[in-house]
Amino acid sequence: MYSIDNDLKLRERAQRAFPSGVYGHQASASLSPMHPQFFTRAEGPYLWDTDGNQYIDFMCGYGTNLLGYCHPKVDAAALKQQTIADAATGPSSGRHRRWS
């Protein structure tokens, strides 16, 4: 049987902690009570909410997750890259300047 009792409790708690109930773009006030806001697990194309209901993520993490969640090859490549340089940024202008 479909239930989102845990999700509804978390929404009530979030209303006390965040403006609009949820941090960022996922404002729970804009969704019906039957659309869950809180998820505990993701794998491949699937998400599981706090009540254990399974969903297909047709939004692909809002377009940033085209390969699915927890793909072993993608995760291994990301971990390898983190050991090299995680978030390195250099000069952003087109001009280069020599320092003396």
pLDDT value, residue 3: 92
**What six digits make up the tokens of 11?**
């929404």
In the chain, the domains with their CATH numbers are 5-84 (3.90.1150.10)
Distance of CA 72 to the CA centre of its chain: 18
Higher pLDDT, 31 or 73: 73
DSSP of 9-75: HHHHHHHHHSGGGSSTT--GGGS-TTS---EEEEEBTEEEETT--EEE-TTTTTTT-TT-BS-HHHH
pLDDT value, residue 62: 76
Give the CA-trace dihedral at 60, 64, 70, 75, to 10 degrees.
Answer: 160
Say if residue 74's pLDDT is above 70: yes
Give the angle 74-35-42 at the CA atoms, nearest 5°: 20
Higher pLDDT, 55 or 100: 55
5-27 residue pLDDT tens = 999 999 889 888 877 776 666 66
Model confidence at 73, in pLDDT bands (50, 70, 90)? very high
The mean of the pLDDT values for the chain is 82
Number of C-beta neighbours around residue 39 at 10 A: 15
